Amino acid sequence: MKRTYPILFVSILMLFASCERQPVTPDDTQKKKISKIIEDISYHDEIDDIEDICEEIWEWNGNHIETITRHYYFYDSGILYEEYVEIAQFLYQDNKISTITDGHSRYEFSYHGDQLSSVACFDMEDNLSREYVYEYNGKEPTKVSLSVPSASILEEFCFEWLDGNVTKIKYYNNGGYVSSYTFRYDNKENPFSNLCVNYHGNLDDPDAFIERFLLPSSKNNVISGHHSDGIGLNFTYTYDGDYPTSRKCYIDGSVITTRYEYTE
């Protein structure tokens, strides 16, 4: 009993605007590490009020994530049910993520020096399903190209940066410009520093569980985003010092609440 948000802007905003710009290199100086993320989506359908809950448990070995276990729940007639569980496992080589598996896909990471150069995604039959390729201007990625060989699809996301934050993303499909997104930020610490991982905007998308790790973005927390078609989103936070403990987003009659717990 889950809901799909059809607006591409929502997925792009959630994926890009809440992540740190170095996708997969843990930071030894990071003071706080995520231990739990609880995402609560409340909305009303044609019949009644519905609440979906997603809880992630993060297990660490030093500054390396070992596993993320994601539990999906939903309420029905006031009773909480667990719908299913996903587990992502992380492997490392030379202190960088080399492989992530989640039970239905395997992601293989390649690097040029310390920078992520490409990520290939394979299905459980070992067929290449899609590939990400990264281009940089110095330390910051300026383009991420996503190709889907079986469908002859090429999507490109081009980034504009200011003070470590993405201020604009231009989206292209098969070489044609489609739309753009602009963002504003606070001055607080992103709790996912140097991990490029955060909540995504669509519980129904199984790929988004892992692919949050593949799309680079900003060091601070996004407070608003606007689509070139005029759609806008705003976020409010509560903080413990410089780190957010919760975030709220209102969209399409829904309230999306995300809560964060940390370990030192």
CATH of the domain at 123: 2.40.160.190
- Helix/strand number for the chain, H first, E second: 2, 16
If one counts the domains in the chain, the total is: 1
Specify if 58 maps to a domain: yes
pLDDT in tens, 184-207: 889 988 766 544 333 334 433 445
Would you state the structure tokens that stand for residue 249, as one six-digit string?
């987003």
Specify if 139 maps to a domain: yes
Would you state the structure tokens that stand for residue 190, as one six-digit string?
């992103």
Specify if 2 maps to a domain: no
Apex 189 CA angle, 56 and 52, nearest 5: 30
- Helix ranges, 137-247 (H): 208-211
For residue 164, what are the domain limits? 8-263
By three-state DSSP, how is residue 12 classified? Answer: helix
* Residues 220, 187 contacting (CB under 8 angstroms): yes
pLDDT in tens, 93-147: 998 899 999 888 899 999 999 889 999 999 989 999 999 999 999 888 899 899 9
Specify if 105 maps to a domain: yes
Specify if 1 maps to a domain: no
* Residues 36, 251 contacting (CB under 8 angstroms): no
Element (H, E) at 157: strand 153-162
Specify if 182 maps to a domain: yes
Specify if 89 maps to a domain: yes
pLDDT in tens, 35-78: 998 888 776 666 666 678 888 899 999 888 899 898 888 777 77
